[in-house]
Amino acid sequence: MHGFANPARFLRMARWLMPALLVPGLVMALGALAWGVAYAPPDHLMGVTVKILFIHVPCVWLGMAGWSTIAVASVVELVWRHPLAAIAARAAAVPGAVFTALGLITGSIWGRPTWGTWWEWDGRLTSFLILLFLYFGYIALADAAQRDAASGGAAGRIPAIFGLVGAINIPIINRSVVWWNSLHQPPSITMGRSAIDGTYLWPLLIGALGFSLIFGGVVLARMRMLLAQIQTEARLRRKALG
Amino acid sequence: MHERLDQWAFVWAALAIGVIGTLVMVGWSLLAMMRAERRRDDVRRK
């Protein structure tokens, strides 16, 4: 793991890995959506709105995966002091927040014709909305910590602690439909078992894999951006000091 | 009261928001990365 602590080595890898994730990811995600829309039959209860799940479910999964990435990177930063861990956590925050927002919006659009309401203050929807606010808080904290670090401050580890504390919301989101009565259906896919017919399951899984590759590519792009900003700041500071 | 909704309108709206949102995020991240790396290279050259 510490082999990638060297930013130059990481950048060499990121230069080829980023397009290698983004291009197949876009092809798989868009292909799976087209497949689902064109060939998946209407569900006997939901009708054609079942097709919204091909975009909604990957967005929701990646919203949670984004915060899980922040939590794991925060542990690596706090325990092993890996220099790229904080950058990886910061890089995962914006795509995680975007997928969380898209999950909420597409879920709301699905809920209107299916449940008869755009929004319901139940456990699943409320805990997922809290996840979006946690992302906003993390992004603001991480930006403040970067500015503080650039001026020689010691607030660098506060976003990592916030990332770990916020991770408590992930199992709450996951178990919310089991713990509380909800309009939201219970889990359809669990470890090694699925209640979804193969006609819907395959485009859903391929789409989720495609969106996951896109997420990975965006995280790498944002890591390169953050590294370039840090290197620019360091160079300008050295020049200013003479 | 029974409400008749055009389900396809909801499907297209969700797909459009999801796909456009994802593409904007990808494009924005790539542009921000290229801008930051160009600025770093400019500072190195000066």
Residue A29 dihedral angles phi and psi, to the nearest 5°? -65, -50
Tell me which of A64-68, A90-94, A114-118, A190-194 is least confident.
A190-194
Subunit contact A109:B14, Cβ cutoff 8 A: yes
Q: Is residue A223 part of a domain?
A: yes
- Tokens standing for residue A54: 């091909």
Three-state DSSP class for A194? strand
Q: What is the pLDDT of residues A70-116, one digit of tens each?
A: 999 999 999 998 889 999 999 999 999 999 999 999 999 999 999 89
Residue A204 confidence (pLDDT) above 90: yes
Nearest CA in chain A to B5: A113
Q: Is residue A143 part of a domain?
A: yes
Long-range pairs of B2-5 with CB within 8 A, sequence gap ≥ 24 = B3/A116, B5/A112, B5/A113
CA distance A9 to A224: 12
Radius of gyration of chain A (CA): 20
Task: Considering only the beta carbons, identify the residue of A47, A48, A224 that sits closest to B37.
Answer: A224
Q: Is residue A190 part of a domain?
A: no
Subunit contact A98:B21, Cβ cutoff 8 A: yes
Q: Is residue A15 part of a domain?
A: no
Task: Considering only the beta carbons, identify the residue of B14, B36, B43 that sits closest to A106.
Answer: B14
Q: Give the residues across from A193 on adjacent strands.
A: A190
- pLDDT confidence bin for A3, thresholds 50/70/90: low
Enclosing domain of residue A128? 21-184+197-241
Q: Is residue A154 part of a domain?
A: yes
Q: Is residue A12 part of a domain?
A: no
Q: Is residue A7 part of a domain?
A: no
Residue A30 Cα, gap to closest chain B Cα (Å):
8
ipTM value: 0.92
Domain total in chain A: 1
pTM: 0.93
- Tokens standing for residue A7: 């930013």
Instruction: Look at residue A34 in the predicted model and tell me its pLDDT.
Output: 96
Q: Is residue A76 part of a domain?
A: yes
